[in-house]
């Protein structure tokens, strides 16, 4: 993830009502119902999407099933799929402004960050998937049998992709790109509140040459469309990203149906600052780690653990610096922190900050809503001195809130870092290389950042341990998770 200083301006898009994308066609839902989509920076309705239901999901799964079974995608040579996936990446770059405008108005993402992070990331995801599509293959296996034995990697079939509200483009592409590289077809259910970019990507995939029926998008509720997708017998794999609670349910349904799943769930990462850290550099990473995407970041670093000799210094620097982080209209190119994606998320943050006050937390920055244009804003907030048992430390807040706690020894820092139910990301700041490797090995997390935060790349796998889930996205590991291995043994006897 690279953040550049691109201060290009952009105007808010005027969006017409959007439909479902099934079998290469735009359709109203069978019921005709629609859902309003709200701009989080104003609270105003900007457009509506079709409110899909079980009948629409059935049609999408049927289209994806036919598209898989007749081989229009899976039987293409990998190199041909690669060419089309590369074209997707090119179109993402060409249509970047359009994608940024839609994603920003839907989620409240600052346009500068959306352009530098989300758009670049999805272009790179498709470029990487294009390369993967050309590497799909099996291996010879030496055997004492009088036989020639080899393996084939084959696509799974129809993939059900369920994605959350916070990174709609990145988290849908992290599933769809490798799934397509392997030859699968897809039914995608985006989050209720932020479905717009998934529909725009369906248009881009089609323009790039992905055949009808290969990617289908059904907007709608988790309790109807999502549930029907989980339960559907024609779905061969569920790729789920979302909360630990819903993920637990999704995994149990998939378990009943014996379907493979990837579970990318909640996080509550610790960010450890050792006494030998470069504090000035660390402060930048600490702030990025908790305000990025307005704290709606599963791999954010909302729990800061600081070596006691540096504790008050770091708290003081944060108290001075955090109020200066530019919060405001996502369409202002200078904005770093936008609104939260929905008012319910702000209310959740307010509840946690109240708990922090009751638990004796010292609020050194923020601690309240920001009243701006009727939007869903909360000031970046830093809370020191909370006990480790506080729910504010233990639970996933998913907002722009940082707790700060001191520690005395390396062992204590690791114990505190590992001391929640989550294990998605973790990180540390140190100038000591030996300590970096030693601590990284002991942190219970799927990814460990050293001396920076949120360095992500499609080539490097990520995913969780403990209640943050299982399975990996990105990297060659992602391709493996969208394929099955078949062994072929050919007798050499006459
Ligand atoms: P959520 O669990 O509420 O919803 C995720 C998706 O599941 C949505 O599309 C929703 O409609 C759908 N859903 C809801 N009920 C369902 C059901 N019964 N059956 C099937 N689908 C259903 O999560 P959210 O609030 O959209 O996203 C925030 C959560 O996602 C946080 O916990 C965050 O940590 C997590 N997250 C994890 C990662 C990761 O990579 N591990 C990335 C981003 C977000």
Nearest partner of 418 among 268, 285, 314, 296, judged by Cα? 268
Confidence of residue 186 (pLDDT cuts 50, 70, 90): very high
Torsion of CA 96, 324, 269, 253, to 10 degrees: -50
Residue 2 is predicted with a pLDDT of 37
Instruction: Answer whether 0.95 is exceeded by the pTM.
Output: yes
What pairs with residue 303 in β-bridges?
270, 403
| Residue of 6 and 167 predicted with greater confidence | 167
In the chain, the domains with their CATH numbers are: 20-265+468-487 (3.40.605.10), 270-457 (3.40.309.10)
Q: Which residues is 273 bridged to in the sheet?
A: 306, 429
Cα 140 to middle of ligand 1, angstroms: 40
Q: Could you identify the atom of ligand 1 that is nearest to the CA of residue 424?
A: 41
Question: Looking at residues 369-388, what average pLDDT do you find?
Answer: 98
Average pLDDT, the chain: 97
Which atom of ligand 1 approaches the CA of 220 most closely? 11
CA–CA gap between residue 401 and residue 424 (Å, rounded): 18
Residue 4 clears pLDDT 50, i.e. is over it? no
Cβ of 227 less than 6 Å from ligand 1 = yes
Closest CA to 415 of 336, 331, 326, 303: 303
φ and ψ of 23, to 5 deg? 55, 40
Judge whether 185 and 67 are in contact, CB under 8 Å: yes
Cβ(109) – ligand 1 distance below 6 Å: no
Q: Specify the pLDDT at position 7.
A: 58
Residue 476 Cα to ligand 1 midpoint, Å, equals 24
pLDDT of 1 > 90? The answer is: no
Cβ 68 vs Cβ 23: under 8 Å: no
Q: What percent of the chain shows pLDDT beyond 90?
A: 98
- Pocket of ligand 1, candidates 35, 121, 164, 251: which has the most ligand atoms within 8 Å of its Cβ, to mutate? 164
Q: What is the CA(247)–ligand 1 centre distance, in A?
A: 7
Ligand 1 pocket member 396 (CB < 6 A):
yes
Q: Whose CA is nearest to atom 43 of ligand 1?
A: 298
Query: For 406-423, how does the pLDDT look when each residue is reduced to its tens digit (9 = 90+)?
Result: 999 999 999 999 999 999
pLDDT, average across residues 430-452: 98
The protein residue with its alpha carbon nearest to ligand 1, atom 36, reads 242
Distance (Å, whole) CA 313 – CA 295: 23
Closest CA to 291 of 217, 349, 360: 349
Q: How far is the CA of 9 from the centre of ligand 1 (A)?
A: 31
With a 6 A CB cut-off, is 194 part of the ligand 1 pocket?
no
Q: Using CA positions, which residue lies closest to atom 34 of ligand 1? A: 266
pLDDT at 54 over 50: yes
Report residue 9's pLDDT band, with 50, 70 and 90 as the boundaries. confident
CB distance 163 to ligand 1 below 6 Å: yes
**Which of ligand 1's atoms lies nearest the C-alpha of 244?**
32
Convert the pLDDT of each residue in 248-291 to its tens digit. Answer: 999 999 999 999 999 999 999 999 999 999 999 999 999 999 99
The three-class DSSP label of residue 40 is coil
CA distance 139 to 137: 7
Percent above pLDDT 70 for the chain: 99
Compute the average pLDDT of residues 168-185. Answer: 98
200 lines ligand 1 (CB under 6 A): no
Whether the pLDDT of residue 238 is over 60: the answer is yes
| Over residues 233-261, mean pLDDT | 97
CA of 293 to the centre of ligand 1 (A): 16
Rg over CA atoms, the chain:
23
The reply to whether 264 belongs to the active site is yes
Structure tokens at 488: 């072929």
Is the CB of residue 366 below 6 angstroms from any atom belonging to ligand 1?
A: no
- For residue 191 and ligand 1, the question of a CB distance below 6 A is answered with yes
Question: Does the Cβ of 241 fall within 6 Å of ligand 1?
Answer: yes
Catalytic residue among 103, 264, 396, 473: 264
For the residues 9-24, what does the mean pLDDT come to? 94
Question: Confidence band (pLDDT; 50, 70, 90) for 3?
Answer: very low
């Amino acid at each position: 993830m690279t953040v550049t200083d691109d201060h290009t301006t952009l105007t808010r898009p005027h969006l017409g009502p959007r439909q479902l994308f099934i079998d290469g066609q735009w359709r109203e839902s069978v019921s005709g119902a629609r859902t309003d989509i709200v701009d989080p920076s104003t609270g105003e309705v900007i457009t509506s999407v079709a409110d899909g239901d079980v009948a629409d999901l059935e049609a999408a799964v049927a289209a994806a099933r036919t598209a898989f079974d007749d081989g229009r995608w899976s039987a293409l040579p990998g190199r041909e799929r690669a060419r089309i996936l590369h074209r997707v990446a090119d179109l993402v770059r060409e249509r970047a402004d359009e994608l940024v405008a839609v994603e920003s108005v839907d989620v409240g993402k600052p346009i500068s960050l959306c352009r530098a992070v989300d758009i670049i990331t999805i272009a790179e995801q498709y470029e990487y998937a294009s390369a993967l599509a050309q590497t799909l293959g099996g291996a010879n296996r030496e055997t004492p049998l009088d036989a020639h034995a080899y393996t084939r990697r084959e696509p799974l079939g129809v993939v059900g992709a369920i994605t959350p509200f916070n990174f709609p483009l990145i988290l849908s592409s992290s599933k769809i790109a490798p799934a397509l590289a392997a030859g699968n077809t897809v039914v995608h259910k985006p989050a209720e509140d932020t479905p717009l970019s998934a529909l725009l990507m369906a248009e881009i995939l089609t323009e790039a040459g992905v055949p009808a029926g290969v990617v289908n998008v059904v907007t709608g509720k988790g309790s109807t469309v999502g549930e029907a997708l989980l339960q559907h017998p024609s779905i061969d794999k569920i790729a789920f990203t979302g909360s630990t609670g819903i993920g637990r349910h999704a995994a149990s349904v998939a378990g009943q149906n014996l379907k493979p799943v990837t579970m990318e769930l909640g996080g509550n990462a610790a960010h450890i600052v050792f006494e030998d850290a470069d504090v000035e550099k660390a402060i930048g990473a600490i702030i990025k780690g908790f305000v990025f995407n307005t704290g709606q970041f599963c791999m954010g670093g909302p729990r800061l653990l600081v070596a006691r000799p540096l504790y008050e210094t770091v708290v003081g620097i944060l108290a001075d610096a955090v109020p200066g982080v530019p919060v405001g209209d996502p369409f202002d190119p200078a904005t770093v922190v936008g609104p939260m994606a929905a008012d319910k998320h702000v209310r959740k943050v307010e509840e946690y900050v109240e708990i922090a006050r009751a638990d004796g937390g010292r609020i050194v920055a923020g601690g309240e809503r920001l009243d701006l244009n009727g939007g869903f804003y909360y000031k970046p907030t830093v809370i020191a001195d909370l006990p480790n048992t506080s729910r504010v430390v233990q639970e996933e807040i998913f907002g722009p809130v940082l707790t700060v706690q001191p520690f005395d020894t390396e062992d204590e820092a690791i114990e505190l870092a590992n001391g929640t139910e989550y294990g998605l990301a973790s990180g540390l700041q140190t100038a000591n290389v030996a300590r970096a490797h030693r601590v990284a090995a002991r942190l219970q997390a799927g990814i460990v950042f050293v001396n920076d935060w949120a360095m992500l790349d499609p080539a490097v796998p990520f995913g969780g341990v403990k209640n943050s889930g299982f399975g990996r996205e990105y990297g060659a590991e992602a391709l493996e998770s969208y394929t099955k291995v078949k062994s072929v043994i050919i007798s050499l006897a006459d």
